Structure 1
């Protein structure tokens, strides 16, 4: 089935797909078999009654192993149902099918219905308090998303920017200057680099932005810089010698150049040495390269200026981000809500990405739901080494994911199959979502319009980010969110 593509990490989305498959089968290939249609109808009703309980159990499964086991049992049953329907369809279209297979289908359906009934009977062991059942994020009216997403205002960092730039210019010499910025995922390194890139002190500089990612490709980096400096899409050069010659000519012509190398993961000294050789500063020009990386070792290896460890945001700054993203100032319950909001901001632990995602999620939420977020057990996962030994996933991102509607969960989880740093083309992504039936059916809007609205929601939550090269039609997922997808996949398998 299509939903299996995302590894079963979003059962609440998968159940919708299976319910739809059962309905289609009952009205199509099973229609002339009245007894089978009757059994399928009962199975569909059972799944529909389980759907609400599943939504709650799935949210709880991150921290509750009993709930996780129940979710996985139901998920396995849904896969079996889908396989059973596909098997019957295959038999129906096979000219050499056997009578035995057709006779066994009612038995299979009856056995599966008994399995679902057992799962239904067991659900009382994983029930949640009533007040947690309304916390699923509702997608806004699609018409609200017609415009382009505006990049969120950057809060704070004024002192950090001033300190970094002062030190950077002090270190400028006749050679290319490298100013590394390092810190853990989600802290805001790329946003800080954008702040530097757009600063007025670089007026008169030719400015270049290259997203490097884990897929270190020296030729691609060189060709990207050439394209941005020349202002046109030149033919891609396919050997480093030609790239270096062309770059040296452009660097001298432009005289003052700022290059941002965002999200550098390459740590091999020889590769970094080749990168430096390619960006060697020529006579009469000034080249400044700002590098962002998670790795202090990489920062030390490439830096000519002292590597800058970007500090976490203050709790007040996290609160300002949440305040702005949630449209807090338009509320009439600000006085009693602000203490809870500030407590949530404190739990973001100075991570801008988490504050942005939570702020958007809390927009239009009631007091009870803000309180639920503040007191949720998921916060303990952001610091629990035993629970998530291979990930740096933050509680704020898990909470934001957990409250997504099922179809949006499926669409986000599908993005996790792309390699870290890979550019995703908007049109291709939406076509894939539609083909896999991840887009919720609607009588009002087309599947394409709904797919576009899903993209907008993921951008607003910072779960997707615009590609620097093409801000309208291409996106990428930061490494921290890729880690979130991996964690969800491992959690769904009980790892």
Structure 2
């Protein structure tokens, strides 16, 4: 497996070098190219494949929960290997009519166990108001009120915490309600964790592996097998491939989609691939999934590989906005130039392909984990399965390791990895050295809370193409932002505290459009949504001649500092931008 991953990394290095050569020559002139209609991004076969072979197990789980209906609280841990379909099963339970009259909560727990996060997520979804309590006692007080006298279904997806003491605290927090009925379904990979969850009368439920026949059925659906003329020859090979899917629905779906574009001799090559050798031991490990996913990955064209790998820069479970993601791909030069299709259209083509392979999928309403997601439509967002995310990260390797000099994509939600000091390191971000930024091409500060950037914080980011400050209460944007000559993507949405300098005494909900932004002559994407009162100078906006996307939704108005007439329309400032879509 190590040699296989090394080959993948060597190939990725070659792709990156090719990308650097071609991106410097790519022209942003696709706005005048032929326009075609978008194709649907989802397929019924994907949804059908997801639930094949699980109907009986779903009914069994629902029956178990019905039998415990007399208890005020029921915990049902479900467990099984990664990729077997635990989250899918939880979604089926979550959306079943049996719980139609229940208030429902879905929380993605992840490898980082956080009681406050789980508590606040539950409060937010039950009350409809965002909860950000930092005191556990306040969280418990709120939960006691919200859970008492009500019927509530809670899904805790992907639990990794092994310490019994922590799990007991979690149980205690969810037991606070009185006179109601609370059902808690937990998904985890480990049986030992499932056994540690409180179960007076309900035993942990082990999700059964898929049979080879079910894997073959999934492959047939994903590969459009029934429409093939050579079905007799393909079936013998296809059944052999199904046996190598490791009883995992995720692998069967990915391989099935890839086979759909192959001829008979290519099916034979897939079946005989040495990548399957990692499965010969018969012992399951994440390498089994990685080996299977590599078969699909290696069939991608170089640009699509780059776009897929970039998705690993987002944290596990993160909702990726489709349009934002495509604009980031474009800003980074990851989208192949075309004389026929615009970059946006090519980006949507990549999305459809990744959907087909099940490398990405739409989140469901049940996976809404934050207050902001109440404003979101799941079909406008993407998520990655944990195992696919792990595979993508193995492809990027040091390019997303912020402690590596080769880092190109940084997501600063955990700044302690980059800064040794524990004393508010973000207050003097990059003040002492610009070395960490010299190769950075994408920098995310999402959900960092109050963030103060030194005036020269970004001066070393000569290669920066994507800057995301969304949901950060940035008090002052650094002057050095004007030096980002390669910047093509800037997201300052949900920032409620940005000002240019102290000379402007603006209310905290306003945002100052910096004069320096006018020098960003390559900027294509600017998001100022949920800012209430953007304030700025007309010449700043009018100089952004390459701007293609401008989002000021949920803003109460736009105020121009040097125009005395209050009737001056913001439209007048953007109406002359030649590329705005």
Same topology, TM > 0.5:
yes
Distance 1:188 1:20, change over 3 A: same
Kindly provide the CA deviation profile for residues 49-79 of structure 1, in whole angstroms up to 9, marking residues without a partner as x: xxxxxxxxxxxxxxxxxxxxxxxxxxxxxxx
What are the Cα deviations for residues 278-313 of structure 1, in whole angstroms up to 9, with x where unaligned? 211533211111111112221111141211121110
Provide closer, same or farther for how the CA distance between residues 189 and 423 of structure 1 changes in structure 2, counting only shifts above 3 A. Answer: same
Alignment of 1:107-118 (within 5 A): none
Among 65, 76, 99, the alignment partner of 1:179 is: 76
Task: Report the counterpart of residue 454 of structure 1 in structure 2.
Answer: 350
Return the alpha-carbon distance in structure 1 between the equivalents of residues 192 and 391 of structure 2: 24
Q: Which residue of 1 aligns with 2:291?
A: 395
CA distance in structure 2 between the partners assigned to 1:313 and 1:393 by the alignment = 15
| Cα distance, 1:436–1:382 mapped onto 2, change above 3 Å | farther
- Give the corresponding residue for 2:321: 425
Counterpart among 373, 378, 387 of residue 270 in structure 2: 373
Greater share of residues in helix: 1
Give the equivalent residue in structure 2 for 1:42: none
Question: Do the aligned partners of 2:244 and 2:279 also contact (CA within 8 Å) in 1?
Answer: no
Q: Distance in 2 between matches of 1:10 and 1:385?
A: 29
C-alpha displacement of 1:354: 0.2
Query: Residue 321 of structure 1 corresponds to which residue in structure 2?
Result: 218
Does the Cα contact within 8 Å between 1:382 and 1:394 map onto a contact in 2?
A: no
Q: Which residue of 1 aligns with 2:425?
A: none
Partners of 1:166 and 1:263 lie apart in 2 by 22
2:379 aligned counterpart, secondary structure: strand
Distance 1:9 1:424, change over 3 A: farther
Q: Which structure has the higher relative contact order (CA within 8 Å, separation 6+)?
A: 1
Following superposition, the deviation at residue 19 of structure 1 comes to 4.1
Q: Which secondary structure state, in structure 2, belongs to the residue aligned with residue 379 of structure 1?
A: helix
CA drift of 1:394 comes to: 4.3
- Equivalences for residues 277-316 of structure 1 within 5 A: 277-280=172-175, 282-304=177-199, 305-316=202-213
* C-alpha contact (below 8 Å) 1:8/1:14 kept by paired residues: no
> CA shift at 1:356, angstroms?
0.8
Q: What's the counterpart of residue 480 of structure 1?
A: 387
1:211 aligns with 2:114: no
Partner of 2:442 in structure 1?
none
Greater Cα offset, 196-205 or 348-357:
196-205
Structure 1 258/456 Cα, relative in aligned 2: closer, same or farther at 3 Å? same
Quote the offset at 1:315 in angstroms.
Answer: 0.9
TM-score (norm 2): 0.58
Secondary structure at the counterpart of residue 101 of structure 2: coil
Structure 1: state its 5+ residue gaps.
1-5, 26-140
Counterpart residue number, 2:236:
339
Hey, which bits of structure 1, 4+ residues long, moved more than 6 A? none
What aligned pairs does 1:427-442 form with structure 2 within 5 A after superposition?
427-442=323-338
Residues 56-135 of structure 1 correspond to what in structure 2 (within 5 A)? Answer: none
**Aligned equivalents of 1:319 and 1:174: distance in 2?**
41
The whole-number CA distance in structure 1 between the counterparts of 2:343 and 2:174 is 46
Kindly tell me: are residues 195 and 390 of structure 1, through their superposed partners in 2, closer, same or farther at Cα, counting changes over 3 Å?
A: closer
Q: Decide which of 14, 18, 25 is 1:16's aligned counterpart.
A: 18
* 2:127 aligned with 1:202: no
* Shift, 1:165, TM fit: 2.9
Q: Which residue of structure 1 aligns with residue 124 of structure 2?
A: 227
Kept in 1, the 8 Å contact 2:9–2:395? The answer is no
Are the aligned partners of 2:41 and 2:352 in contact in 1 as well (CA < 8 Å)? no
Count of paired positions: 369
In the alignment, the residues of structure 2 paired with residue 233 and residue 329 of structure 1 have an alpha-carbon distance, to the nearest angstrom, of: 49
Structure 1 range deviating more: 198-207 or 401-410? 198-207
Unpaired segments ≥5 residues, structure 2? 1-7, 28-34, 369-375, 400-581
- Take 1:202 and 1:249, find their aligned partners in 2: how far apart are those partners? 21
Could you state the TM-score of these two structures normalised by the residue count of structure 1? 0.67
Moved more, 316-325 or 233-242: 233-242
Secondary structure at 2:78's aligned position in 1? strand
Match of 2:57 in 1: 160
The change in CA–CA distance for 1:210 and 1:316 in structure 2 (over 3 A counts) is same
- Write the distance in 2 (CA, Å) between the matches of 1:9 and 1:226: 47
The answer to whether the 8 A contact 1:281-1:287 is kept is no
Residues 178, 291 of structure 1: 8 Å contact kept:
yes
**Distance (whole Å) between structure 1 residues aligned to residue 285 and residue 80 of structure 2:** 19
Per the alignment, in what secondary structure is the counterpart of residue 212 of structure 1? strand
Give the equivalent residue in structure 2 for 1:129. Answer: none
Q: Which residues in structure 2 correspond to 1:4-43 (within 5 Å)? A: 10-11=12-13, 13-20=15-22
